[in-house]
């Protein structure tokens, strides 16, 4: 049954360094999603391992090392969004993992142009600005990892009267 969900979004070090934080967060709010928790932090190797616990198995150790290393390279901004089918809607707003395959109008399609071939040839992680939970179960795990219950808030926005 479709319903109200919560999902994690992390603005990666490239988004923070490029000064895109406000513009990217606005995209989610413009779509009717509500920010119910937010924080800025630099993650360490232990936290990266917890977040990307299965990446080495799925994509290989070198991919894990590149992504985990990049995520530790500077501050990130993590936030929890709430809304109708939030997980799928955030994934749609973010676009394909590989920015050159993401349609215009998505975050990655509008702000990044890196390709899978370029990153592989140059042994670089895909700098695609944002991490978004891939499914409802992953969202639950990630929200619980990044935020304690007292860091998440229930409140009503004016837009909710018209959205939900």
Summarize pLDDT for 102-141 with one digit per residue, the tens: 999 999 999 998 898 998 898 888 999 999 999 999 999 9
Structure token digits, residue 23: 């513009």
Please tell me the distance from the alpha carbon of residue 41 to that of residue 134, in angstroms, as a whole number. 22
Percent of all residues in the chain with a pLDDT value above 90, rounded to a whole number: 84
pLDDT band at 158 (very low <50, low <70, confident <90, very high): confident
Among 112, 134, 110, CA closest to 27? 110
- Round to whole Å and give the CA distance between 127 and 20: 13
- Cα–Cα distance between 56 and 162 in angstroms, integer? 43
The per-residue pLDDT for range 68-106, each reduced to its tens digit, is 999 999 999 999 999 999 999 999 999 999 999 999 999
Rounded to two decimals, what is the model's pTM? 0.94
* pLDDT surpasses 90 at 162: no
**Helices 86-94 and 21-30: angle between axes, nearest 10 degrees:** 130
Instruction: Report the candidate in 44, 111, 37 with the shortest Cα–Cα distance to residue 71.
Output: 44
Residue 1 has pLDDT above 50, yes or no: no
SS (H, E, C) 4-70: EEEEEEEECHHHHHCCCHHHHHHHHHHCCCEEEEEEEECCCHHHHHHHCCCHHHHHCHHHHHHHHHH
Q: In this predicted structure, what is the pLDDT of residue 164? A: 65
pLDDT band at 2 (very low <50, low <70, confident <90, very high): confident
Q: What is the pLDDT averaged over residues 40-65?
A: 93
Tokens encoding 151: 């860091």
Please check whether the domain covering 13-156 is classified as CATH 1.20.1050.90: no
Residue ranges per domain, the chain? 13-156
pLDDT band at residue 148 using 50, 70 and 90 as cut-offs: very high
Task: With beta carbons less than 8 A apart as the criterion, state whether 146 and 132 touch.
Answer: no
pLDDT at position 159 is: 81
Contact 144, 51 (CB under 8 A): no
Q: Across all residues in the chain, what is the average pLDDT?
A: 94
Average pLDDT over residues 33-50: 97
Query: Alpha-carbon distance 80 to 145, whole Å?
Result: 11
Catalytic residues: 131
């Amino acid at each position: 049954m479709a319903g109200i969900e919560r999902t994690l979004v992390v603005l990666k070090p490239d988004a923070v360094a490029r000064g895109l934080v406000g513009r990217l967060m606005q995209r989610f709010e413009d779509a009717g999603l509500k920010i119910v928790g937010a924080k800025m932090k630099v993650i360490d190797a232990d936290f990266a391992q917890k977040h990307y616990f299965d990446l080495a198995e799925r994509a290989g150790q070198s991919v894990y090392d590149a992504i985990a290393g990049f995520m530790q390279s500077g501050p990130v901004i993590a936030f929890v969004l709430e809304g109708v089918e939030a997980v799928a809607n955030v994934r749609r707003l973010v676009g394909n993992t590989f920015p050159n395959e993401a349609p215009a109008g998505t975050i990655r399609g509008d702000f990044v142009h890196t390709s899978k071939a370029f990153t592989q040839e140059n042994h670089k992680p895909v700098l695609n600005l944002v991490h978004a939970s891939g499914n409802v179960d992953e969202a639950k795990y990630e929200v619980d990892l990044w935020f304690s219950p007292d860091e998440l808030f229930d409140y009503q926005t004016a837009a909710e009267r018209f959205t939900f």
